[in-house]
Amino acid sequence: MANLSTEHVDSIVQAILPGHRLVSSTRASASFTNDAIILECSTPAGNRIRLAVKLLVDEPTDAPRLAAASYHAMLLARAHGVPVPEPVYLDTTGATLGAPGIVTLFVEGKQWSDRQDPVAWAATLARLLMRIHDINPGPEDRKILLDGNYESMYFLRDNQPKSKAGHPLSDVIYDTVRAYRTSIPQVTTSLVHLDYWPGNVLWRDGQVTAILDWDFASYGDPALDVAYFRMDMHLRGISEAADPFLECYEAESGSAVKNLGFWELAAAAHPLPNPVAWIPASREMGDAAATDERADTDFVEFVHDAVCRTHAGR
């Protein structure tokens, strides 16, 4: 984004908000993937409005469908009262933005994890996730959204197994997933975020203002999001929030999460072969407890519990 000219950025503003004037453009802070820029614009009456532009440049081959899925999922989530930024522009070709991407209204907030009361913090995020999973995408929605179960098994395809080898638990994770992948029970699918972690949640004055980064928005097993969030808690040094998160989620849903152990192992494959490489993102958010040593030991504990859970059919 730093290479975009002022003329290009101004042309983006004119395409989205004809008659508005570009005041400033700044790169978004705490943007861990892709490119994001905040545009401050002036309305014809002199009022200010801010836009968030996200370019999906990390996976150029899949960018058009990711942009479409993200845009559609945010419309769907907002229609059901889930706090997400308001999408205002979709560009699947890059003709306007310079790359496939989306534009939303800017939402105030910061990523935050409550070290003083991690249980209440985790419960808030669990209830919020339940609201997402209450949404059942229809047939037309599913034509645009991704297949979450398929996407979450990406680590079994192409060169991924070889690239993720080398960690002491790599074989355990892969062998267990392969052994159970065709026998896990079928469940009622829902809208799933597929990247639900604290870095994608904005807070302000103790309240969630928005859930961001719907790039992999899918329909699939709700356990996908629960498992991924719990895995991330162990890497971030907040493992004590993982069980309260699950307990609150299950209380809200009224039943135990099925296939949790299996999808926890699938989630644990994501940071292989070096889980501690994910720690800098946590430190950037101010999580001092996210240390290499704790991430490594907590990750081992998480995988062990997930294996036991999978074998037990839970």
- Domains of the chain with CATH codes: 6-105 (3.30.200.20), 118-311 (3.90.1200.10)
Q: Does residue 2 surpass a pLDDT of 50? A: no
* Residue 69 host element (H or E): helix 63-79
List C-alpha distances in Å: 57 to 100, 113, 199, 221.
8, 28, 19, 27
The SS3 call for residue 147 is strand
- Could you tell me the pTM of the whole model? 0.94
pLDDT digits (tens, 9 = 90+) for 66-105: 999 999 999 999 999 999 999 999 999 999 999 999 999 9
- In the numeric block, which tokens belong to residue 118? 């991690």
Largest CA distance in the chain: 64
> pLDDT of 162-220, one tens digit each?
999 999 999 999 999 999 999 999 999 999 999 999 989 999 999 999 999 999 999 99
Of 176, 177, 211, the C-alpha closest to 192 is 211
- In the structure encoding, which two tokens stand for residue 311, read together? 């074998």
Cβ 214 vs Cβ 66: under 8 Å:
no
Predicted confidence at residue 279, as pLDDT, reads: 77
Residue with tokens 């249980």: 119
Would you say how long the chain is, in residues?
Answer: 314
Rounded to the nearest integer, the mean pLDDT of the chain is 92
